[in-house]
Amino acid sequence: MLYDNAQLVRVYLHAWQINHEPIFRRVVEETLEFIRREMLDQQGGFYSSLDADSEGKEGKFYVWSLDEIRHILGDDSPFFEKVYHASEGGNWEGKLVLQQSVNDTTLASLNGMSRDQVVDRLNNCHARLYKERNKRIRPGTDDKILTGWNGLMLSAYADAGRVFNNASYLEIAGCNADFLLNCLHTGGKLRRTWRRGQSGLEVFLEDYAGLILGLLELYQGDLNPRWFREARQLAEEMLTHFSDPEGGFFDTPHDAEALLTRPKDLQDNATPSGNALAVEALIRLDALNVVPEWRHIAEKALGMVADLAPNYPTAFGRWLSAANLALGKVNQIAILGELSDERTQALINVLRDIYYPNMVVAISSHPPPAGAPALLNGRPMLNNQPTAYVCQGSVCTQPVTQPEELARQLTPNKGRN
């Protein structure tokens, strides 16, 4: 499922930022490569899912027998079998679902190898198995493209592109955003579905909120103010079409087919609650652009789950994240300087390697262009040097020009909230 991969990528990405465990980064990179290879439409959208079945059997495309592994890998098989605890009986209905049982660092120690040697040897084994697997009959692909799910994957690629400074990830994210805005946003309204050139008529709250958050992540990754402007416009549409005067948002727009009860699902399911995503989007937009009315709407919506979320936290995970964002101090980072200047890039690099929770970032040359986030306004460059500002609410620390100074200002915020 596209949404599972999207959410897991960001879990592993943020885990890597916290402890720099190499396997976490590898999970991110290999998952995003899988999505690019298997689920990316040539126009830029992401497909919904791959079937579990092929040839009428669940998992047939993906599972292995020990004899197959030994035949393909030859002398490398004993090493590979230890890594994956491969046995004759398998670990799923007599077959093997390959699950690495020991991390690369431990493997290196146990086998008298460097970690790089372990990774290279495993990559070689994987490539040979992958080549053989491609001869099998592939499972079907659900090539329907859903806006909300694409918004989640857009966030994943954009976030990974920013953190790893990976231009190819940002390019994929940019193409995806272009596709969604050009093909699924017509007549001043989003559409939920697209398949082979045809878009559906329906749209739901999660489509708007998921895409807004994806565009904000992309803006913070490739620094193109267009994405911020598009996110702000979509937020205005979302408020027009979905707002509930009693608080929060309905799942369907005001002009949708009339139902006995207009749905308003608050719980997270396999995908986050549309209301929780909308609340997070409004709080982040307020942090970037100072829109107190939007923050008020978000805070009022949080009241809907104030009694439910503490008692059933696993059903309200994204709500709790949004509440944490609202109740804590959002770290607002503004950096002014030419992007081609190495000194500007040095400031930006401070934000990449470490996970700073509840952070929004706005970066621009000076003066910022029209339509850029208000967070950038009225912030001069010190001594004509690239300059960083760290703010929380209306309070900012002393502007700095050196990456070491920026890191020191952010260190008290690391892990906070």
Q: Is the pLDDT of residue 417 over 50?
A: no
Residue 416: pLDDT band (50, 70, 90) is very low
Q: Domain boundaries in the chain?
A: 52-139, 145-327, 331-413
In the block, which residue shows the tokens 């390959």?
98
The whole-number average pLDDT for the span 199-210 is: 97
228: exposed, middle or buried (C-beta count within 10 Å: 0-12, 13-18, 19+)? buried
Q: How far apart are CA 324 and CA 317, in angstroms?
A: 11
* CB neighbour burial string for 322-354, b if at least 16 within 10 angstroms, e if fewer: bbebbeeebbbbbbbbeeeeeebbbbbebbeee
pLDDT of residue 257: 86
The whole-number average pLDDT for the span 289-307 is: 96
Q: Is the pLDDT of residue 334 over 90?
A: yes
Percent of the chain with pLDDT over 70: 99
pLDDT of residue 104: 87
Q: What is the pLDDT of residues 2-24, one digit of tens each?
A: 999 999 999 999 999 999 998 89
Phi then psi for 94, rounded to 5 degrees? 80, 0
- The domain defined by 145-327 folds into Glycosyltransferase (1.50.10)
Residue 108 forms beta bridges with which residues? Answer: none
Q: Do residues 249 and 277 lie in contact, with contact meaning Cβ atoms separated by under 8 Å?
A: no
In the block, which residue shows the tokens 């890191």?
407
In the block, which residue shows the tokens 């919904």?
48
- Is the pTM above the cut of 0.85? yes
Name the 3-class secondary structure at 146.
strand
The answer for 225, left when phi > 0, alpha when psi is -120 to 50, beta otherwise, is alpha
Q: Is the pLDDT of residue 415 over 50?
A: no
Supply angle C-alpha 1, 202, 225, rounded to 5: 75
Q: How far apart are CA 66 and CA 103, in angstroms?
A: 21
Q: How far apart are CA 190 and CA 175, in angstroms?
A: 17
Give me 243's structure tokens.
Answer: 């707002």
The whole-number average pLDDT for the span 387-392 is: 96
Q: Is the pLDDT of residue 51 over 50?
A: yes
Q: Encode 222-254 in three state secondary structure.
A: HCCHHHHHHHHHHHHHHHHHHECCCCCECCCCC
**Alpha helices for 74-185 (secondary structure H):** 77-84, 104-111, 115-133, 147-164, 167-183
Phi then psi for 199, rounded to 5 degrees? -105, 150
Check residue 390 and report its DSSP letter.
Answer: E
pLDDT of residue 290: 93
Q: Do residues 333 and 389 lie in contact, with contact meaning Cβ atoms separated by under 8 Å?
A: yes
Residue 40: pLDDT band (50, 70, 90) is very high
Residue 199 forms beta bridges with which residues? Answer: 194
303: exposed, middle or buried (C-beta count within 10 Å: 0-12, 13-18, 19+)? exposed
CB under 8 A, 24+ apart: contacts of 100-105:
103/21, 103/23, 104/22, 104/23, 105/22
Residue 412: pLDDT band (50, 70, 90) is low
Give me 52's structure tokens.
Answer: 């579990």
* CB neighbour burial string for 28-54, b if at least 16 within 10 angstroms, e if fewer: bbebbeebeeebbbeebbbbbbbeeeb
The mean pLDDT value of the chain amounts to 95
Q: How far apart are CA 287 and CA 318, in angstroms?
A: 18
Q: Is the pLDDT of residue 414 over 60?
A: no
Q: Is the pLDDT of residue 174 over 80?
A: yes
Query: Which residues, 6+ apart, have CB-to-CB distance to 231 below 8 Å?
Result: 211, 212, 215, 216, 219, 281, 285
Residue 390 forms beta bridges with which residues? Answer: 333
Distances (CA, A) of 321 to 187, 195, 268: 33, 33, 12
Strands 185-186 and 49-50: unpaired
Architecture of domain 331-413: 3-Layer(aba) Sandwich (3.40)
Q: What is the pLDDT of residues 255-292, one digit of tens each?
A: 988 888 899 999 999 999 999 999 999 999 999 999 99
